[in-house]
Structure 1
Amino acid sequence: MKITTKRAGAFALATLLFAGSFAAAGSGAIAQDRAELNEAQTVQTELQASQNAAQPQVRFVASEVVQDIPAETVVEEAEAPSAASLRELVRAIDTDGELPRELMCLAQAVYFESRGEPLDGQLAVARVIINRADSRTFPDDYCSVVTQRSQFSFVRGGNIPQPNTGSAAWDRAKAIARIAHRDLWESPVDDSLYFHANYVRPSWARRMTMRAQIDSHIFYR
């Protein structure tokens, strides 16, 4: 069948309108897709900025950092009380509160090894332990020196027994430990590393140089 000119024109017009409508629709879809893409990119950018703001910033400091000094260090470096005698100094030392582990071992050694000795004898025992910790021959801390095998008879299986913490002898031992640790009072035993009771004669003593005898203990280097 032949299409008349009028119908052909109408058909052509309809075809043109349909094509224009489709192009317009397609153009609108593309524009919408671009808008949605731009919006997604904006949201992603804002989210990344939020995350960056939440993360801690790393800053490099040119000046040195000063750390706080531990409380025990401050106490140990405090000005020493003045005293005319060792007994007076012992009374002036603050023995309240708990001792740090190393000073505890030192005080326990003074208590168990020499609490029946005069104060200068107790100080001498503490000085020997400190000298050993400073020597290359022995362990380098008070607790290891005291618990070293076959050195102090009061140590059992590497453990130091508990003193009578409510006694005056324990308070004196704590004071002596602090005095010796801070080197607040001179001891005649000087650099001694060994000592023994005067009622025994150990063979090793013959090879040593005697530094002092205080009450019932003899001290050697």
Structure 2
Amino acid sequence: MLLGACAMTLGLTVAAPSAGAQKLEQGVRSEHVLQLQEQLSDLGYFDAGLTGYYGRITKGAVRKFQQAQGLSADGVAGPATLNRLNKKAKAEGETLRQLAKLIHGEARGESLEGQVAVGAVVMNRVHSNAFPSSISKVIFQKGQFTAVDDGQFNTKPTQTSYRAARKALNGADPTNGALYYYNPKIATSVWSKSRPTLLTIGQHDFTR
């Protein structure tokens, strides 16, 4: 939910599994595999423990990524797959991960639609003159998100949170332009409750 919160900064790094690795496949255990898993996780394709072992789950995640990118979906991370993964991770990984972490911290337990709605509020703020013009600045703007204030932002997002973040980044907005949301069962802000409600999704009322 939205709440007064102190802004925090977060340093995120993107690993590069193709650096020094030409081919990764099932049965391999290495630091390169761990980096591969980290990137797949950041992009929402891998939702398991980061072990450094290329097993069945990692192979399936690689295959999903390959299918999404129009590559040969054999589940083997060869040069073409690793190069594409590096480019996607550098372009999207940090932004996607930040939004997924906020969604997870604010709306885990909500439906996919409810999580997309929270992400959409962030995107609507980015496009509003009343708020900062980047996703990161909106997320860490002082006095806005409970999850940033209480540390829930730092918990690992689920696959659903990544899906919701990706949908919001691609323009999905079930709120029809909402800039705020709150949980009426626990919110104490009179100002929040004074805003006209656009719609309710799960536990959240969405407002402008």
Give the structure-1-normalised TM-score.
0.49
1:182 lines up with 2:170 in the alignment: yes
Given that residues 108 and 115 in structure 2 are in contact (C-alpha distance below 8 angstroms), is that contact kept between their aligned partners in structure 1?
A: yes
Show the counterpart of 2:155: 163
Structure with greater contact order relative to length (CA < 8 Å, sep ≥ 6): 2
Show the counterpart of 1:215: 202
Alpha-carbon distance, 1:180 to partner = 1.0
Map 1:59-208 → 2, pairs under 5 A: 98=89, 99-156=92-149, 161-164=153-156, 170-183=158-171, 185-187=172-174, 189-199=175-185, 200-208=187-195
Alpha-carbon distance, 1:177 to partner = 0.8
**Structure 2 counterpart of 1:109, one-letter code:** L
Given that residues 208 and 220 in structure 1 are in contact (C-alpha distance below 8 angstroms), is that contact kept between their aligned partners in structure 2?
A: yes
Q: CA RMSD in A?
A: 2.8
User: 3-state SS of the aligned residue for 1:137?
Assistant: coil
Map 1:28-39 → 2, pairs under 5 A: none
**Structure 1 counterpart of 2:140, one-letter code:** T
Alpha-carbon distance, 1:156 to partner = 4.0
Q: C-alpha distance in 2, partners of 1:161/1:180? A: 18
- Structure 2 unmatched ranges of 5 or more: 1-63, 69-84
**Structure 2 counterpart of 1:178, one-letter code:** R
Q: C-alpha distance in 2, partners of 1:109/1:161? A: 5
- Structure 1 unmatched ranges of 5 or more: 1-90
Q: C-alpha distance in 2, partners of 1:103/1:110? A: 11
Q: C-alpha distance in 1, partners of 2:103/2:180? A: 14
Alpha-carbon distance, 1:101 to partner = 2.1
Q: C-alpha distance in 2, partners of 1:198/1:212? A: 12
Given that residues 108 and 161 in structure 2 are in contact (C-alpha distance below 8 angstroms), is that contact kept between their aligned partners in structure 1?
A: yes
Given that residues 102 and 153 in structure 2 are in contact (C-alpha distance below 8 angstroms), is that contact kept between their aligned partners in structure 1?
A: no
Given that residues 111 and 173 in structure 1 are in contact (C-alpha distance below 8 angstroms), is that contact kept between their aligned partners in structure 2?
A: yes
Q: Which has the larger radius of gyration?
A: 1
Q: Deviations over 1:146-178 (max 9, x none)?
A: 111111112149x884332xxxx5211111111
Alpha-carbon distance, 1:215 to partner = 1.1
Greater share of helix:
1
Alpha-carbon distance, 1:213 to partner = 0.6
Task: Decide whether aligned partners of structure 1 residues 118 and 161 sit closer, same or farther in structure 2, where only a CA change above 3 A counts.
Answer: closer
Identity %: 27
**Structure 1 counterpart of 2:180, one-letter code:** Y
User: 3-state SS of the aligned residue for 2:148?
Assistant: coil
Show the counterpart of 2:10: none
Aligned length: 123
Given that residues 110 and 177 in structure 1 are in contact (C-alpha distance below 8 angstroms), is that contact kept between their aligned partners in structure 2?
A: yes
Given that residues 102 and 141 in structure 1 are in contact (C-alpha distance below 8 angstroms), is that contact kept between their aligned partners in structure 2?
A: no
